[in-house]
Amino acid sequence: MTTTNAQLDALAVFSHPDDAELTAAGTLLKLKSLGYRTGVLDTTRGEMGTRGTPEGRAEEAREAGRVMNLDLRLNLELPDGHVHVTEDARRLMVRVIRTHRPKVIFTQHWDDPHPDHAATSRIVREAARLASMRRYDLEAGQEHVSMPAIAYAVFSRLVVPSFVVDISDFLEGKMDAIRAHTSQFYQEGASEPATRISEKNFLDQIEARARYVGSLIGVAAGEAWYVREALNVHDPIELLTRPMNIYS
């Protein structure tokens, strides 16, 4: 795992290489365009995946990170298929949060059907709180931090989003970042076993999903997020009069 101490504005924490791309690449690209420092933390190397190798997937993740213009990409190297909310996992996550001090963490929903995804969400939530406790993990010699805000992906569950990010200008870049994971998606004549995400029309479905989510706010493409806490709105007039399609 990279040891650079770069501080981040936004950190996307997802279980497997390609999860962040499928779910959050548009948001990360938009944030980068706005001048924010962005990073991705994959919690596993994806070694249990049907297609590809850990080494190959690491190279694909690096290329996808380049496409997303990330400031940092890390891997926690938890065992794929065996991500659990353990003290070791929480401690590792706390150390990443304290090192890079993200203001916002984007992660998976705690009720995601994939057990690694659900566990990653819980690890993030618990570690974010523990990172703010002065006496937790004193042996690491790190300063405590303010608890970052956490936004959960609206992807595998029918959850009403708290907000939608307009990624209309970044949909092509999102799809390019996804396609960087060449081992995982459709390739004509590929010899590896077929999977749900390697079906020929899967990436068309991902693009259609982004366009549907965008339609909820009257734009070409979007990514949906859910937050558990009430949002602190500085200017409700500005918020509620942004251009959008509302049918009432």
Whole-structure pTM value: 0.93
Q: In this structure, what token pair is assigned to residue 41? A: 């933390």
- The domain ranges of the chain are 10-240
Q: What is the pLDDT of residues 125-166, one digit of tens each?
A: 999 999 999 999 999 999 999 999 999 999 877 789 999 999
pLDDT at 3 (0 to 100):
46
Q: What stretches of 45-114 show up as alpha helix (H) in DSSP?
A: 54-67, 87-100
pLDDT at 88 (0 to 100):
98
161 or 247, which is more confident? 161
Q: How far apart are CA 144 and CA 137, in angstroms?
A: 9
Of 82, 109, 78, 111, the closest CA to residue 92 belongs to: 78
Q: How many CA atoms lie within 13 A of 64 on its CB side?
A: 33
Q: What is the pLDDT of residues 78-124, one digit of tens each?
A: 999 999 999 999 999 999 999 999 999 999 999 999 999 999 999 99
Q: What stretches of 156-233 show up as alpha helix (H) in DSSP?
A: 171-179, 202-215
pLDDT at 196 (0 to 100):
76
25 or 48, which is more confident? 25
Decide if 182 contacts 136 (C-beta within 8 A): no
Helix (H, G, I), strand (E, B) or coil at 11: strand
Q: What is the pLDDT of residues 152-209, one digit of tens each?
A: 999 877 789 999 999 999 999 999 999 999 887 777 767 777 787 778 898 999 999 9
Of 136, 137, 144, the closest CA to residue 98 belongs to: 144
pLDDT at 245 (0 to 100):
54
pLDDT at 96 (0 to 100):
98
Q: How far apart are CA 176 and CA 68, in angstroms?
A: 9
Decide if 75 contacts 35 (C-beta within 8 A): no
pLDDT at 20 (0 to 100):
97
CA distances from 13 to 8, 217, 236, 244 (A): 13, 26, 30, 29
pLDDT at 114 (0 to 100):
95
Q: What is the DSSP letter of 232?
A: -
Dihedral (CA of 7, 10, 14, 17) sign: negative
Architecture of domain 10-240: 3-Layer(aba) Sandwich (3.40)
Q: How far apart are CA 245 and CA 181, in angstroms?
A: 34
Of 209, 207, 222, the closest CA to residue 166 belongs to: 222
pLDDT at 2 (0 to 100):
45
